[in-house]
Structure 1
Amino acid sequence: MSSLPPSVVTDAPQQEDRTPQQSSGLQAGLKNRHLSMIAIGGVIGAGLFVGSGSGIAAAGPGILLSYALVGTMVVFVMRMLGEMAVANPTSGSFSAYADRALGRWAGFSIGWLYWFFWVVVLAVEATAGATILHGWVSSVPQWAWALIVMAVLTATNLVSVGSYGEFEFWFAGIKVVAIAAFIVLGGLAAFGILPGSDHEAVGMANLTGHGGFLPNGPGAILTGVLMVVFSFMGSEIVTLAAGESQNPRKAITKATNSVIWRVGVFYLGSILIVVSLLKWDDPAIVKKGSYVAALDSIGIAHAGEIMNVIVLTAVLSCLNSGLYTASRMAFSLGQRGDAPAQFARTSKGGVPRNAILGSVLFGFVAVFFNYEWPDTVFKFLLNSSGAVALFVWLVICFSQLKMRRIIEREEPEKLIVRMWLFPYLTWATIGMISFVLVYMLTDKDGRPQVLLSLLVAAVVIAISLVRERMKSGRKDAVVGS
């Protein structure tokens, strides 16, 4: 039996024209505009708005190099993933490719770890959204807001993949417009040409003043890397979502080719504006948040309230995509026999409802843990999923090393997107990711994340190996009888 579902294995000539959704039960409900915004919005998480202040305080203007290093790593990983996904679009994405390239144990393990990562994110984002909404309407308890947010987005995902795409289109659209407006207004203010603003025309002076570009030394760049690396998680979602579109190969190719400018504009562009407008050691950057402080500095009224709306949008977008992503990974695992068979069933509308409900159920449990035992049980969940993003990227790299050879041998005509300088850049990316993981062990906050994530990964891998051995034993027994 092949290690890939029908949506991935396309060796038979009669199936070459079948789309993944036709062979799996999913429906092509996502439009091109949905996928475009999913691709753009996938790299703009709430972490960009909320977490960038701490990175600036730690590394100064040098945080731009931290973002550039991580952004380069993400561009390379997405190029590798795009190469495999264009050749074989599937809702299982990198988990399905690992299944074929590295073995069943790899596809099983990284699939479940990725699912675990996103269901924990559901709890984090639901709580963050509830905090903002409770601040606006305090008569509704915070836990009730978390429940409402989760219930609404679960309902949209249960209706159809198109409803998920429509919500994500508008969520991502608001984020894109907000950052584009921020870059334009901030750029004008930095050079003193923003009408109505009395902000001093500082140009790029703040990048080298106040202790220089690297006021805390070159080592602060690596500290900044640890602070920003996880805000990039989500760029791979488009390769899962493309499996439910009419033309997945075209959508993935477009998303892969555009990832460079997306990272450059939304991350480097907006952070450049922040560190240009403000002195890197301005207390307001950490106290108010980098974007709020920057907006305040150029005289934008109600900057805090405006940013709360944008952050809430980013949170809802992440929650919406997290639920979609977790359910599609559970669906793919179910298809391959690595999860309950019920997860692989779809409704008449092509929605994997059992996979969605199973994922959101764990999300509700995690939200409960966050309110009842935030410093014990929930902290363990956070730390034990903290390094999973880096594990996923490593698996993508190793899978691509082998899948390139398989595609070249079996289906060379499908090698439309190619990783640059293969295999040298692939190995260089593996080295970069491995270095970040090792460096995290030297950091007091990063160490527990790596160690606990490794522990959970070891448990999942052990389960997968035991399952495979048991299956092999049963097959031998049948043959022997």
Structure 2
Amino acid sequence: MTHKPHINLERKMESRHLLMISLGGVIGTGLFLSSGYTIHEAGPIGTILAYGIGAVVVYLVMLCLGELSVAMPQTGLFHVYADKYIGPGTGFTVAILYWLTWTVALGSEFTAAGLIMQTWFKGTPTWIWSAIFMMVIFTSNALSVRFFAETEFWFSSIKVLAIVVFIILGGLAIVGIIPIAGAQHAPMLTNLTKDGLFPNGFKAVFTTMLTVNFAFLGTELIGVTAGETKDPSKNIPKAIHTTLIRLVIFFIGSIIVMAALIPWQKAGVNQSPFVLVFNSIGLPYAGDIMNFVVLTAILSAANSGLYASTRMLWSLAHEGMIPLKYAKTNSRGVPMIALVLSMAGGILALVSSIVAASTVYLVLVSISGLAVVIVWMAIALSEINFRKAWIAEGHSVQELKFKTPWYPILPWTAFIMCLLSCVLIVFDPTQRPALFYMIPFIALCYIVYYAKSKRSVKSSKLSDD
């Protein structure tokens, strides 16, 4: 008699962990480093509009995820829902896409962390720092889910505090309470509109919109943690309901401050807009402070990314889509084989970013960048089909502890807006390759799944004979 491995996870995460993990996955280099470039491309009002639309799309998807994850709180649940309510091939594809998204992100984050350390320790090789941070993040995930949650809580707290301070000081500078170097009077909000609402044309809003959705990658981590969250029916809705508020405050609030204090033509061309603002109001050691915050943001994103990719592999094994041994957990409830494989994937992505940056890595980044929007589409469609199945089984909507409002309008709106984000890529030459790489990759995932299923059916028939 074969002994079945221990594959259960432990519910150790509390409400404060869940809130900070969902923030930790979202607030990263996209806000701290790339936001200035976005302002430069779309103009102040165009960027605010694009991020506003992006925040609404994310919130709609999270409302769909809320009903699903409270009704069925399982770890790595996106593909489980897609498997059950769309089709097993789609479930497998969604899991692979989401795993790849975070694995590629891991390679990028470790490279970026190494480069930041070179600003303080000039002449040291980047790979040494990357290796050190790999060990730190691996250890954070390997000790226990509770240790991971605590680590992520403090990483995210530093980022949140930095953004709150930035918005407060920037707001005081906008109204003239804090003087700005070289300015004769308070700038107020004149920089937002002095060159027109859309200085580079309205089309730039749509071009920016494509990258904005990718900047919100990580909000859906609320769902990934469902199987390890205490009292999911209470804590998951609480995290989801505050998602839009947090995204508006942190993303749009920061962008308004940047755009008001830095002319859009100068934003983000050479350095982080956060550093530019802190320097303009004379904050000492602005560069070092912001480099520390950005390093924290990078490590936080890597911490969340390794957790997410590990749980997706665990879930695939748990559902029988890959061998069960990958779901085996140790005495602390950590799926170590899945963790090691996910970290190995991150290391391979890191290597490909150095030795094959223009070929292999470019393809990986293109696929992973678009993958999250396809995962969101799968969440919305799963919710539509789940509600239909729930009613067909004789249940009532009132029985649901969390209900997606305005069904089916809201989930269909989320699905269509995500679909438009994918389709609009065709009109942007720089991002068009992502679509060309993604379509054959998705087809390959389906082929692999159905070939595997056919083999399994054939094997079972032979064993029966």
Q: TM exceeds 0.5?
A: yes
Q: What SS does the corresponding residue of 1:349 show, helix, strand or coil?
A: coil
Q: Would you say the 8 A contact 2:66–2:236 is kept in 1?
A: yes
Q: Would you say the 8 A contact 2:34–2:268 is kept in 1?
A: no
Q: Does 1:182 align with 2:169?
A: no
Please point out which of 423, 436, 440 is paired with 1:455: 440
1:221 CA drift (Å): 0.9
Structure 2 matches for 1:89-168, cutoff 5 A? 89-168=73-152
Q: Could you say which residue in structure 2 is the equivalent of 1:332?
A: 315
Whole-angstrom distance in 2 between the partners of 1:320 and 1:69: 28
Shift of the 104–51 alpha-carbon distance from structure 1 to 2, 3 Å rule, reads same
Structure 2 matches for 1:303-452, cutoff 5 A? 303-410=286-393, 412=396, 415-452=400-437
Q: Could you say which residue in structure 2 is the equivalent of 1:237?
A: 221
Shift of the 298–454 alpha-carbon distance from structure 1 to 2, 3 Å rule, reads same
1:198 CA drift (Å): 7.2
Q: Does 1:247 align with 2:231?
A: yes
Deviations 1:415-453 (A, max 9, x none): 222222211222222221111111112212211112112
Whole-angstrom distance in 2 between the partners of 1:389 and 1:158: 25
1:311 CA drift (Å): 0.8
Q: Could you say which residue in structure 2 is the equivalent of 1:285?
A: 268
Please point out which of 28, 49, 52 is paired with 1:45: 28
Q: Would you say the 8 A contact 2:159–2:297 is kept in 1?
A: yes
Whole-angstrom distance in 1 between the partners of 2:180 and 2:109: 36
Q: Would you say the 8 A contact 1:383–1:448 is kept in 2?
A: yes
1:203 CA drift (Å): 1.4
Structure 1 moving runs of 4+ over 6 Å: 195-198
- Equivalent position amino acid for 1:422 in 2: Y
Deviations 1:337-393 (A, max 9, x none): 112322110001111011100110111122122222222222222123221011111
Q: Could you say which residue in structure 1 is the equivalent of 2:240?
A: 256
Q: Would you say the 8 A contact 2:25–2:305 is kept in 1?
A: no
Q: TM-score, normalised by structure 2?
A: 0.94
1:202 CA drift (Å): 1.6
Q: Would you say the 8 A contact 2:180–2:280 is kept in 1?
A: no
Deviations 1:50-88 (A, max 9, x none): 111111011111210010111111110111011100111
Whole-angstrom distance in 1 between the partners of 2:218 and 2:344: 21
1:40 CA drift (Å): 2.8
Shift of the 444–184 alpha-carbon distance from structure 1 to 2, 3 Å rule, reads same
Whole-angstrom distance in 2 between the partners of 1:221 and 1:147: 39
Q: Could you say which residue in structure 1 is the equivalent of 2:284?
A: 301
Whole-angstrom distance in 2 between the partners of 1:458 and 1:302: 51
- Equivalent position amino acid for 1:59 in 2: A
Whole-angstrom distance in 2 between the partners of 1:104 and 1:311: 39
- Equivalent position amino acid for 2:453 in 1: E
1:394 CA drift (Å): 1.0
Q: CA RMSD in A?
A: 1.9
Shift of the 325–54 alpha-carbon distance from structure 1 to 2, 3 Å rule, reads same
Unaligned runs of 5+ in 2: 1-5
Q: Could you say which residue in structure 2 is the equivalent of 1:15?
A: none
Whole-angstrom distance in 1 between the partners of 2:382 and 2:260: 40
Higher deviation after alignment, 148-157 or 322-331: 148-157
Q: What SS does the corresponding residue of 2:268 show, helix, strand or coil?
A: helix
Q: Would you say the 8 A contact 1:45–1:232 is kept in 2?
A: no
Q: Does 1:72 align with 2:56?
A: yes
1:256 CA drift (Å): 1.1
Deviations 1:77-132 (A, max 9, x none): 11101110011111122111111101211111110111111111110000011110
Whole-angstrom distance in 1 between the partners of 2:368 and 2:244: 27
Whole-angstrom distance in 1 between the partners of 2:390 and 2:220: 20
Whole-angstrom distance in 2 between the partners of 1:278 and 1:220: 19
Deviations 1:262-312 (A, max 9, x none): 11101111111111112211x253212222222222222232222111111
- Equivalent position amino acid for 1:203 in 2: M
Deviations 1:147-171 (A, max 9, x none): 1111111012111011111110011
Q: Could you say which residue in structure 2 is the equivalent of 1:12?
A: none
Q: Could you say which residue in structure 2 is the equivalent of 1:212?
A: 196
Residue identity over aligned pairs, in percent, reads 37
Whole-angstrom distance in 1 between the partners of 2:367 and 2:272: 27
Q: Would you say the 8 A contact 2:76–2:308 is kept in 1?
A: no
Unaligned runs of 5+ in 1: 1-22
- Tell me the matched-pair count: 456
Q: What SS does the corresponding residue of 1:441 show, helix, strand or coil?
A: helix
Whole-angstrom distance in 2 between the partners of 1:190 and 1:394: 39
Q: Would you say the 8 A contact 1:42–1:238 is kept in 2?
A: no
- Equivalent position amino acid for 1:265 in 2: I
Please point out which of 180, 187, 203 is paired with 1:202: 187
Whole-angstrom distance in 1 between the partners of 2:247 and 2:75: 24
Q: What SS does the corresponding residue of 2:75 show, helix, strand or coil?
A: coil
Higher deviation after alignment, 422-431 or 255-264: 422-431
- Equivalent position amino acid for 2:428 in 1: D
Higher deviation after alignment, 467-476 or 237-246: 467-476
Q: TM-score, normalised by structure 1?
A: 0.91
Q: Does 1:169 align with 2:182?
A: no
Whole-angstrom distance in 2 between the partners of 1:426 and 1:222: 22
Q: Would you say the 8 A contact 2:141–2:307 is kept in 1?
A: yes
